[in-house]
Structure 1
Amino acid sequence: MIAGDYVLELCNVFYSGQVESGSCFQRMLGNIKTGIILKDVSMTVHSGEVLAVLGSKGSGKKALLDVISRRARGPIRGQILLNNQPMSLCLFQQRCGYVTHKCDLIPGLTVAQTLYYTPTKISGYLKKSKVKQVMADLALSQVANKCTEDLTLSEYRRLTIGIQLIKDPVILLLDEPTWDLDPLNTYLVVSILSNAAKKYGTAMILTMEKPRSDVFPFLERVLYLCLGDVVYTGGTRQMLEYFNAIGFPCPQLENPLMYYLCLSTVDRRSRERFMESNHQIAQLVEKFKIEGGAFRKSSNITGPNSTINHALGHGNKIPLLIGKPSSCSTGWNIYMRLLSATVSFKKAGMRQMFLRLFLVPLYFLLLWTFYREMQNFQRTYITRSGLVLNCLMGVYLLGIVNAILLYPTYRTRYYQESQEGMYGGTLFLLTYNLLSIPFSFITVLGGAAIIYPLIGSFDTPIDYICFASVLWACYLFTEQQTMAILMIVKDYLTTAIFSIYITCVCVTLGSGILRSIKGLQDWLYYATYATQVRYASAYLNKKVFSSPVLNQPLPFDYHHNCSSLNPEISLRDAVTNPFCRYFNGHSFLTERYTRDHADAFNRIWDEEFNIGITFAFAVGIILFNGFLYLIPLPSFVKARFRE
């Protein structure tokens, strides 16, 4: 690829969109203030050139990048052409790149891994060679094995640029790549971009709010915007000639980029200055429309490639669409990226391993220390019921905690990459579940082994497997429930509170532990059938209170025996013998769960049915999440995750 192979043109582009931020409710109602953001913008940039879009805050710099990338939400008029072909969203995603101002990378991955696991059409040895080349070009080779969270701001910005360069874009948009960088790193980043543009034949379009004089030699083109109007666009050196010709020469020893930026900025220090500067800028805009045509297509590049090959760029439409990587290849890249970030021996990786593997066993070990001294007296019915409640609430809450602490990082990265058309939500969710579900099974299995001896005397290993599986299904349910909420709610704390609230309500009503199910009103009683905890709790309670130890009358303590109680204990018996409330586990469960139906007990305690329904809830919410990620999100929700 050589300079002149590709040309991007904007012809008389108008864009109307949101000019003031609004609340979520206002976005839902469409009650937000809109206006014209870009007004009759025309510009040209060729392969191998660097174009700087300059302007003060609110001038429309980012809106221009969003319009070119087809991310803008609002009506657009005019033409955006790449080699005389309309710039569609598909074309931009396949052949162009966009480095946003804020890009969240996955912690735990090294620089080399971050670049290597970026989905592209090349793989294997070719991709490794490409990664090494890009790292060398961006001065990242010396930090190739450094984790993303340990990078300096300059290194982090260069890495985000490298993620796009690894895909060989013909046009690369960069939103404020030098923001908050010191002068040395600003010079380094811009010089690297200039060298990369010429080496790869990529047209670079970057926005800058405060350009320094030392970056002037690296900019072939410049575009000045003021409130959406074009004050000047064309070659940077020709800019000096143009403004000198219209009576605004740049003073000696002044930074020309900054001088003409101030000239293109509305002065708001007083009403008089505002009116004067506004009138002057309006004159500059009109003057450039009349006299700027010759400067618009000029640049600093000289030589055989200084002009566009019109036969190639306009007369013949060369094929631009090259297709996307296969879903299998992309899914493998995403899965390996997740796995590498999780099993990393760096700080972020160790944190993830602890949360995924050791948090649940640690919780059950804590439970074991509190419940290991249980004795077989009447109070053990309440104690064992509390143990079942703590087991259920533990896996439910830890499923929420793991989703809150681990999932948002990958979710945010997915939202950013999905705008580039790399993959869809279903593929992302599938790869995440392929990693998360095995880890969750291992950790719950280990935790269940700790608490299992206290639950009851089960006869076979199958009982232990069923016990652990029920807890695992509960863990999966709240994890997936929280992931579903995180799809549309950006704030982690809000999501956690909402998910915990739903879970606590379900446990309170459906578990039969905090309050008797048979004492609920009819509509609440039947509503419990729609909760997973009803079936999981029924299975666990049945296994606990059907153990041989609890099938006989238990004494109140060492001095009060209950063996003379009749199994069909009545209110009169309870009054005359206040120490012994429950004859056995069967009577305890009858009080907590059954209503006035002769066969209610048999229907409620069907073990296979309860296990099946408990897993049906977990599988159902996994499938629901997959369906949820297929539905296009409303624009006001997407706006929360744009960056």
Structure 2
Amino acid sequence: MSVETYSWSNISLTLQNGKTILDDIYGSVSAGEMLAIMGPSGCGKSTLLNVLAYRTSPRSSTLEGGIFINNERATLNKIKQLSSYVEQEDSLIGSLTVSETVDYSAQFAGIDKAHKKELVSKTIKSLGLEGQAMSKIGTPIQKGISGGQKRRVSIASQIITSPSILFLDEPTSGLDSVASREVISTIKKIAKRENMVIICSIHQPSTYTFELFDKVMFLSKGRTVYNGAVSNVVKYFNSIGHTMPPYINPAEYVLDLINTDFQGDSSVLDDLVSKWNSGDVHKVGTESVQLTEATTINEMQNILILIARSLTKARRDILTYYVRLVMYLGLAILMGTVWLRLQNGQKNIQPFINAIFFSGAFMSFMSVAYIPSYLEDIQSYKKERMNGLYGPLAFSLANFLVGLPFLFLIAAVFSVITFLWSTFTKQQVGSGII
């Protein structure tokens, strides 16, 4: 489906305690355009972005309004099918290289193998990551690429899926001014080339970066101060009595104007909101035509891709299984030494019971070593599930199939050493004592 316009009307979000997070927000972005959502901290930028992407709104809240694709009401499945979302926090698998991370995203998107390699290479190069293509993302115990480079990898892994709509939450976070400009410039070129709708929240960009956007929406306390072409920002604020000094960054000027965090008086903001609402605001039509649901994802193909990725991670990430193997090996030797050459007999029944108990207990306790790796997996899963790449069945089954042989090996090593050194008899093993 071709997305010509993505629009929203009467978007309001109110918490249960009566606090308004978003107040009657309108907007529209056409294919090939980039919209920047800007405002002071806490103004509702990320909340609006999540609402527009059909992501979970805050609990105990009331959401009103409509979201439309080509003036037809959008559904959750349709948004997932047509869009990708780059989150503010980078959820990447540290043991994979930059190239592998982007490549797996391309596989999930079903990109043809004949073109995948070339497309991965071009995408990495366009975001200035060619020199880091074979570098690992990095883990807590193994240094990888920088935070700014991780940000660009996150963007690359979503851009390569060629979505019709791309949401970005703070895409320039952690980047210097030059890198920010180049990243936004690259995204703009891709938007024009692929006829893509781009909506992103961004903090105080430089003048050059700001001018790369086609449209900008300024928010403050959940209310719209301006929503229109970037080229008209200076003209509009001059026309309502807020003349901008020459050579000033328009974004910086407006953000200073609408920030009430350090000013007790909010009359200026109220006046700006009033003037904007009383002007000729373009309000989107609210037809309520239901779109067709997204097609079913090929779960088997996703399972195979996840298995391949998990195996790569298991081979490289020592925290996943190798540290656990060494820990269980050391524990088995320790326990075998404590109960070394234990003689069978009634007088030793309590030591045998202790050995059995601590074997089971330590095997359970030591599983906490897998938690850091699991947390990394679950964060990656949440991001990819929200982007509609695969579901919980594929994730759970792939993790189970990859982990099973490693867990069997760990259990076998521990059991064999403990059994031999502690002199458990075959009869004890056969009767289920171990």
Q: With the length of structure 2 as denominator, give the TM-score of the two structures.
A: 0.88
User: 1:378 Cα shift?
Assistant: 6.9
Q: Does 1:335 align with 2:307?
A: yes
Contact 1:83 1:314 (8 Å CA) reproduced: no
Higher strand share: 2
| Pick aligned residue for 1:84 from 55, 59, 71 | 71
Unpaired runs of 5+ residues, structure 2, are 139-143
Cα deviation code 1:409-468 (max 9, x no counterpart): 212222232222333323322211111121111111122221222344655xxx79x67x
| Pick aligned residue for 2:403 from 401, 426, 436 | 436
Contact 1:158 1:189 (8 Å CA) reproduced: yes
Match of 2:135 in 1: 146
SS in 2 for 1:243: helix
Q: 1:396 to 1:321 in 2, by over 3 A?
A: closer
Cα deviation code 1:171-206 (max 9, x no counterpart): 111111222432222223222222222232222211
Match of 1:607 in 2: none
User: 1:322 Cα shift?
Assistant: 5.9
- Residue type at the aligned position of 1:200: E
Q: 1:158 to 1:40 in 2, by over 3 A?
A: same
SS in 2 for 1:12: strand
Tell me the percent identity. Answer: 26
Match of 2:354 in 1: 386
SS in 2 for 1:351: coil
SS in 2 for 1:293: coil
Q: Where do 1:357-396 residues align within 5 Å?
A: 357-374=325-342, 380-396=348-364
User: 1:220 Cα shift?
Assistant: 1.1
Higher helix share: 1
Match of 1:539 in 2: 432
- Residue type at the aligned position of 1:371: W
User: 1:155 Cα shift?
Assistant: 1.0
Q: Does 1:8 align with 2:20?
A: no
Contact 1:361 1:444 (8 Å CA) reproduced: no
Contact 2:340 2:423 (8 Å CA) reproduced: no
- Residue type at the aligned position of 1:83: N
Contact 2:151 2:174 (8 Å CA) reproduced: no
Match of 2:276 in 1: 288
Q: Distance in 2 between matches of 1:401 and 1:440?
A: 13
Q: Distance in 2 between matches of 1:202 and 1:320?
A: 21
Cα deviation code 1:316-353 (max 9, x no counterpart): x9x88663530111111222111111112xxxx13323
Match of 1:168 in 2: 162
Q: 1:392 to 1:457 in 2, by over 3 A?
A: closer
Contact 1:52 1:208 (8 Å CA) reproduced: yes
Match of 2:182 in 1: 188
Contact 2:37 2:202 (8 Å CA) reproduced: yes
Q: Distance in 2 between matches of 1:374 and 1:78?
A: 74
SS in 1 for 2:135: coil
Contact 2:33 2:196 (8 Å CA) reproduced: yes
Q: Distance in 1 between matches of 2:63 and 2:357?
A: 58
Contact 1:52 1:221 (8 Å CA) reproduced: yes
| Pick aligned residue for 1:446 from 399, 410, 413 | 413
Q: Distance in 2 between matches of 1:130 and 1:419?
A: 23
Q: 1:314 to 1:289 in 2, by over 3 A?
A: closer
Q: Distance in 2 between matches of 1:218 and 1:79?
A: 28
User: 1:393 Cα shift?
Assistant: 2.0
Match of 1:626 in 2: none
User: 1:380 Cα shift?
Assistant: 3.7
SS in 1 for 2:433: helix
Match of 1:555 in 2: none
Q: 1:324 to 1:264 in 2, by over 3 A?
A: farther
- Residue type at the aligned position of 1:157: R
| Pick aligned residue for 1:122 from 85, 88, 111 | 111
SS in 1 for 2:319: helix
- Residue type at the aligned position of 2:186: I
SS in 1 for 2:216: strand
- Residue type at the aligned position of 1:82: I
| Pick aligned residue for 2:198 from 186, 204, 222 | 204
Contact 1:54 1:224 (8 Å CA) reproduced: yes
Match of 2:378 in 1: 411
Contact 1:103 1:416 (8 Å CA) reproduced: no
Root mean square deviation of aligned Cα: 2.9
Q: With the length of structure 1 as denominator, give the TM-score of the two structures.
A: 0.61
SS in 2 for 1:159: helix
Q: Distance in 2 between matches of 1:193 and 1:431?
A: 33
- Structure of greater Rg: 1
Unpaired runs of 5+ residues, structure 1, are 18-31, 298-312, 468-537, 542-643
Q: Where do 1:461-540 residues align within 5 Å?
A: 539-540=432-433
- Residue type at the aligned position of 2:433: L
> Which range is displaced more, 88-97 or 358-367?
358-367
Q: 1:229 to 1:405 in 2, by over 3 A?
A: closer
Match of 1:504 in 2: none
Q: Distance in 2 between matches of 1:230 and 1:436?
A: 50
SS in 2 for 1:540: coil
Equivalenced residues, count:
423
Match of 2:34 in 1: 50
Contact 2:38 2:218 (8 Å CA) reproduced: yes
Q: Distance in 2 between matches of 1:314 and 1:384?
A: 74
- Residue type at the aligned position of 1:448: S
Match of 2:233 in 1: 239
User: 1:212 Cα shift?
Assistant: 1.9
